Amino acid sequence: MPDASTTRLQAIEELCALGQPYELKFTQIMGKNQRIFVNAPNTLRDLYLETRSDLDYLVFEGERFTFDHVYHLASAFATAMVEHYGIKPGDRVAISMRDYPEWVIAFFATTSIGAIAVSLNAQWGVSDLSFGLKDCSPSLVLVDQERLDLISSIDKVPQDMSIIRIRSNANASMKSDAWNDVLAAHKDTEMPPSVIQADDDATIIYTSGTTGYPKGVVSTHRGIIHALLSWELDAEIRAYTGTYEHPAPGYQECFLLTVPLFHVSGSHVAMLASLRLQRKMVCMYKWDVEKAMALIEQERVTVLTAAPAITNDVIYADDSSKFDLSSLLVLGGGGAHRPPEQVQGIAGFKKTIAPGTGWGMTETNAIGAGILGKDYVHRPSSCGQCSAVLEMRVIDEAGNKLVSGEPGELQVKGTSMFRGYWERPESDKECFDGDWFRTGDKAIIDREGFVHIVDRIKDLIIRGGENIACSAIEAALNQHSLVKEACAYGLPDERLGEKVGATVSVLSPVATADLEEFLTGKLARFEMPSHIIQTQQPLPRGASGKIVKRLVKADAIKNLNQV
């Protein structure tokens, strides 16, 4: 029998052996030798079919949908897409809305007929939304009222693009069909037949790059499914090694969705990972800590994983809360670094709650490394150990692999990796070192295999789990006629992890309100700088002529601390 001395590698060897539920074997995938789960569903379509039941799956503001109900609605919409809109395998179907149940239904339907589900960031402004639509050229886009109104203001939308509006009124300047009408016309239809292969494209999810517009990350059915099964295997490994065993609560598990479904933390960690677990998912229109705690009590929520800003809200608000949070078993999440004192805060919050976090990217389908329970309490700076279907290494600037404990760029490869960027062959070449993906994160892997992210090589700000490209902020500021040069950076923030800061060299002083008004429409709401420092002096530059961002940032932090 296993005990606490059993290592992770020993557990993987036992749990993934021939004949075991999580049996692993090597196979050739697109010319690469990779590990696959022998018993994994072949496609997302198979996954949906295998997990139908009468248990609750989606809850949204009083509306309830079982797993089977969602499948039936997805079947009706899939039929509509094929018969009325002419959607074919490989066509793109874009989803741009808040976390409504229709988001899930549309995703299931799209990926069940071999089309590609495109997740568009619902926080984008007109510029990014216009780019995204032109970049992926969807045959069909599903929108709520806010996104319908935004699309109506775009000068040119892709030709032959149909629009379905959800929970919204018609827009006089933009032709669209009502979701309820579309479903009613195909009520009680079966899922249309479709031949899908494991390595067919399933999704495009846009992620912030360090330069230019967002890039569409393309993933296959196999890549996504192997991410899902990797999380299941990690839970088995923790129980096997005695590091953490998830309690059986005696009632249906429940995940409180507080993150957007257009991120892998929403679509993968919450929506898709809940299927095989038969876990209920409670969706919120927007984050509100009092409403969240009421839902935790009412729905007996067992898991809440989100950015530190959200989990901290729950901990701080509970001091004066009248709600029963005793059902919570796991509280944590990735997307941003969590200071050690916050890890201890979660661990001391309730004796029954385990803190957890992980490292993953859109390009890895959200998996990579994970850590939970006492492992995390003892190693609060770590994001965990590498997934069984991935490999990780740390290299120096010359491309040499570094030994344990030495910092360098984290690289990763394996079965859950994305196929490439949508129609960006030049980006594919830049981001891969052979088979290894360059993550842009600076990391240390210690002797026990725990990964510690220590810095970012890519020029990104992570605000509440949302990646923001500094170049996008700088490009917008530089468009102002009085701005000579701009430098954007992340400023420490206890709630969000980081907030956006910027320093601009100006010809003459500009009212902050005027700058903010100028940026409106050019940047998404979450990209707007919280602090803008102005100077009429040139920004510091190094020998290469580049702005020395670390000096600008250090000076900004110093100035803010003196205020």
Higher pLDDT, 520 or 81: 81
pLDDT at 529 exceeding the cut of 50: yes
C-alpha distances in Å from residue 481, one per residue of 31, 306, 476, 484, 515: 52, 39, 11, 8, 11
| Topology of domain 44-207, CATH | Rossmann fold (3.40.50)
pTM, to two decimals: 0.87
Give the pLDDT confidence score for residue 436 in this predicted structure.
96
E strands, 363-449, are 368-372, 384-386, 390-395, 408-414, 420-421, 432-433, 436-445
pLDDT tens per residue, range 408-454? 999 999 999 999 999 999 999 999 999 999 998 999 999 999 999 88
With H, G, I as helix, E, B as strand and everything else as coil, classify residue 550.
helix
Give the pLDDT confidence score for residue 560 in this predicted structure.
82
Phi-psi region of 488 (alpha: psi -120 to 50; beta: other; left: phi over 0): beta
* Superfamily per CATH, domain 463-562: ANL, C-terminal domain (3.30.300.30)
Give the pLDDT confidence score for residue 534 in this predicted structure.
94
Map out the domains of the chain as residue ranges: 8-39+219-318+325-456, 44-207, 463-562
Question: Percent of the chain beyond pLDDT 70?
Answer: 96
pLDDT tens per residue, range 153-165? 998 888 789 999 9
Parallel, antiparallel, or unpaired: how do β-strands 460-463 and 450-456 relate?
unpaired
Give the pLDDT confidence score for residue 178 in this predicted structure.
98
pLDDT at 227 exceeding the cut of 50: yes
Give the pLDDT confidence score for residue 192 in this predicted structure.
97
Question: Percent of the chain beyond pLDDT 90?
Answer: 72
pLDDT tens per residue, range 487-499? 999 998 878 888 9
pLDDT at 319 exceeding the cut of 70: no
Mean pLDDT in residue range 271-294 = 96
Nearest to 416 by CA among 209, 264, 271, 274: 264
The pLDDT-based confidence of 1 (bands split at 50, 70, 90) is: very low
pLDDT at 376 exceeding the cut of 80: yes
Mean pLDDT in residue range 378-398 = 94
In sequence order, which residues have a C-beta less than 8 Å from that of residue 188 and are 6 or more positions away? 72, 76
pLDDT at 2 exceeding the cut of 50: no
Task: Check if 8-39+219-318+325-456 and 44-207 are the same fold.
Answer: yes
* Residue found under tokens 């770590």: 382
Q: With the C-alpha atoms ordered 252, 257, 263, 265, is the resulting torsion angle positive or negative?
A: negative
pLDDT averaged over the chain? 91
Mean pLDDT in residue range 161-180 = 95
E strands, 473-512, are 483-493, 497-506
| Topology of domain 8-39+219-318+325-456, CATH | Rossmann fold (3.40.50)
Mean pLDDT in residue range 456-477 = 82
Phi, psi values for residue 213, rounded to 5°: -80, 165
Quote the tokens at residue 357.
Answer: 């976090």
The pLDDT-based confidence of 336 (bands split at 50, 70, 90) is: low
Higher pLDDT, 156 or 130: 130
Mean pLDDT in residue range 238-246 = 92
pLDDT tens per residue, range 3-55? 555 789 999 999 999 999 999 999 999 888 999 999 999 999 999 999 999 99
Higher pLDDT, 534 or 475: 534
Given a contact cutoff of 8 angstroms between Cβ atoms, the answer to whether 303 and 292 are in contact is no
The pLDDT-based confidence of 136 (bands split at 50, 70, 90) is: very high
Give the pLDDT confidence score for residue 10 in this predicted structure.
94
Mean pLDDT in residue range 195-217 = 87
Quote the tokens at residue 389.
Answer: 């279907």
Higher pLDDT, 199 or 214: 199
Amino acid type, 227 = A
Give the pLDDT confidence score for residue 457 in this predicted structure.
75
Q: Tally the C-alpha atoms within 13 A of residue 489's C-alpha that lie toward its C-beta.
A: 19
In sequence order, which residues have a C-beta less than 8 Å from that of residue 76 and are 6 or more positions away? 183, 186, 187, 188, 189
With H, G, I as helix, E, B as strand and everything else as coil, classify residue 437.
strand
What whole-number distance in Å separates Cα of residue 355 and Cα of residue 345?
Answer: 9
In sequence order, which residues have a C-beta less than 8 Å from that of residue 527 and are 6 or more positions away? 468, 472, 473, 500
pLDDT at 543 exceeding the cut of 70: no
